[in-house]
Structure 1
């Protein structure tokens, strides 16, 4: 690991000033992803700015009935919070599915949103990777890509986003709040992650020097009947090969409201809006759930070795939505 400076920010203005003064600076929350990348030589920051003394560690109700989650809230505290468990249970389930207790105790909400892909070619400094070294190529296209993207990819990058938490946030229309030296701003999560296009190294739409201060969840009554389901290659903690956040509101056998987001299938959490449109106003049964999933996956472009993700996601959507429908009927 190369040498670096370390500063602990006392306030937001100080943190932003430190980051602006050093082009090679990185914000530090729990460090569960950044420090690993530094050890591998993938990230080489000249300065780490520790944010853990900033007043961003609370979960609070908003005036309109939503929740505001501070950027330095740990994953453990997020998953255990009673309002999250009661009003957005899929979010709590996603966080608990994401990592071991030790990692959840350190990892932060802001850091989770900014974590980098676990593509083996990205984390291997000797391999071509457009995300790590623009213009060098994407080794996964003709190499190992079993766990890579089937939706929204490009010839420049087929890596998937690793976050479980972000999938649930995407389903509930979360908004990322940030601060810059010029003032505050916000980005809907749907706009926070950039399409992969020809510049996969540009992962988010955050302005240069911006610091995430929190995430706002708007009020969503449907979220109280929600679930997160993750499929992985081993029973112990591992990154998803497919995941789903779903919420369902059924009235008189008809889908009144539905939220769906897919994970581990694209470079960002994939909000399944085509499937949502297909389901809304129609019957809440397995045939409708399967048809909606097929409509969403019609745009998929699998690689030679990851086509299994299409039936996996179809079956996952049918299974989870059926469970939610059966629970609503009790």
Structure 2
């Protein structure tokens, strides 16, 4: 019998583990020890859980059910690291076309992709909104984590730790590449790391120096083009329900308009420039550019979503 009040469970989730989405036959009482109630940021609660998630141990001073979820996700990730690695080493088509045979390898070829999908879905599952007796249990950020290749991890560091362990990568190369390239280029960094698994310190530093030089060269080229007024490589950006078109962004760059306030002051000049598009289209272009500049006020959004970051 559960020690605390169960969280509210939507009808379509009445037999579902809140942590991973598998069928629930147990409950996770939080905190498991009533002596730890003093650490909680919200009321104690019972959560529907599968047999695996229900037995995960967490530290006595964990303060929220979302921190518990992170512990449970890490447990899933560690336990099924080999399954998750299948998606990094193979595609579904490659497994179907493979020539695995025999009792062991034949079975792997047939079931590997399913194993990967199950592990990926369990790790990415986010559960439903937590409430008790219709009272919402507040949490500051429901859009937690870092997503890569269809899998949502607790953080970027957790993702890197998993990839290094599952793919047997050099422990220092991948994080160092991300420091240079940024999280948005993890796919490229991972390709480099896969090609250089067993390397010496000298080899690692040589690779990193080459990547740094590539980045410096890229920035130099961009700066030269910017100085020359050549913005031909600018890309359009979809933001919310609008689109900042290539032409709109190029116009802003050529006129050295880099903020939302500056754009608003130049509204008449924008509509004069694009009047040939007709009223509705001209307005949509301006609206998309507004949304773009508004989004660019957030440095995290710029780092993760702006393909034109080097031009500003």
TM-score range, shorter chain: under 0.3
Whose strand proportion is higher, 1 or 2?
1
Structure number with the bigger relative contact order (C-alpha 8 A, sep ≥ 6) is 1
TM-score, normalised by the number of residues in structure 2: 0.27
Q: Which structure is larger by alpha-carbon Rg, 1 or 2?
A: 2
Whose helix proportion is higher, 1 or 2?
2
